[in-house]
Amino acid sequence: IGFGNYIKGAGYPTTAASIGQSGHEVVTVQMDPTGKVQAFVGVSPHGQGLKTTFAQVLADEIGISVEDVEILCGDTDAASDGTGTWGSRSVVAGGGALRLAGQGLRNKITRLAANLLEVPVEEVIVEGGYVLVQGKEEKIPVSRVAETAFSDTNALHGSLGHGLVCTRRFESAGPVYSNGAHMAI
């Protein structure tokens, strides 16, 4: 019987990465008029369930269903500033950028929804695919907010920049550590 225990660092910052490698990743997320979200990510999966993990991270951050998220990986035309898959950095760097981009997109959704519902933006919550107003029963589907963003150009002026699109860069501040154990008989 043999045991092997390990601790593994991943997601090193650029200052600690090897020459020619970087601890950053850039992600663009966009919502279409139906409320579906596409994420353009520079890292690519290779059998570890990365697309599923990324979809869950982004859906949780925005407040929508994981079924409404599509992850598009490795297309340098769409995610030209990412640094790709190497080492054990994909979830740390790619997931970090997805979280930031998801927060940015959710902020745009809440600002537009606040205008539609005529309430302060601080009272708007995105949860379960709906936009809710704190303390009220009123709610509207995120898809209605997305449709408005595309059909009512006046709703966008000054509040959303370039519509329901958000690009964010994540730079790792330091490695994260995972651990595990293997046993062989």
pTM (two decimals):
0.84
E strand residue ranges, 117-161: 124-127, 130-133, 139-141
The fraction of the chain above a pLDDT of 90, given in percent, is: 51
pLDDT of the residue at 173: 76
Q: Which has more confidence, 74 or 49? A: 49
* CB neighbourhood size of 8 (10 A): 12
3-state secondary structure of 132: strand
Q: Which has more confidence, 70 or 81? A: 70
Q: Is the pLDDT of residue 55 over 80?
A: yes
Q: Is the pLDDT of residue 9 over 80?
A: no
Q: Is the pLDDT of residue 184 over 90?
A: yes
Per residue in 22-44, pLDDT tens?
677 889 999 999 999 999 998 88
What whole-number distance in Å separates Cα of residue 95 and Cα of residue 101?
Answer: 10
